[in-house]
Chains A and B, each alone.
Chain A
């Protein structure tokens, strides 16, 4: 089991564009959470998906949206990209109330 996999690993976009990041959870996990990690900071919770619905959301604007598919994989979409959206985006999966397993992240750079 490769664990949590994220794609792409790196991405470069310009301001105003839209981006989609993808995550496949660890086998047996049904819950996916997304985090934004700015340089020198800890991960900041964006939202969590369970049973294809957004279950909890952090303090992020509506430009950040997501989706979970029947196979539990998930996408994070960010519209109208800003320079400040440059960060490492982490996906984590879990089962029930078990601790989360993290992926390697997608490094998003906004020019």
Chain B
């Protein structure tokens, strides 16, 4: 069974500090990993996918198959990064049916 674990319910940092939101997964095959974000009063939206290997809004995430992790990082947090972040996994070869973690609330203080 596939599972996504986000160990932190809440992460609080100051503006300009580095931020790392942790995500660990369990999956027997080759997974596809995603980070979704939900800003206050907005709908859930895709932030980035591991296969794209891109940086979005300064965030990056590297898939570490050895540690089964897909941590989201940003070197200098901004107040507008405050949001709910969800890590999600889907099995490769199928349709995009992600299994979501419970989410981490990121608060960036001025």
Contact = CB atoms under 8 A, between A and B. Distances in A.
B31 interface: no
Q: How large is the interface on B (under 10, 10 to 19, 20 to 34, 35 or more residues)?
A: 20 to 34
B43 A102 contact: yes
Given A41-B102, A44-B100, A56 B95 contact: yes
Given A40-B102, A42-B103, A98 B96 contact: yes
Interface size class of A (residues with CB under 8 A): 20 to 34
- Give the one of B100, B101, B102 with max A CB within 10 A: B100
A48 interface: yes
Contact of A43 (B44, B46, B49, B94): B44
A100 B46 contact: yes
A42 B89 CA distance: 12
A94 B44 contact: no
Interface of A: 3-4, 31, 33, 40-45, 48, 50, 55-56, 58, 90, 94, 97-105
A4 B45 CA distance: 12
A24 to B, nearest CB: 14
Contacts of A97: 95-96
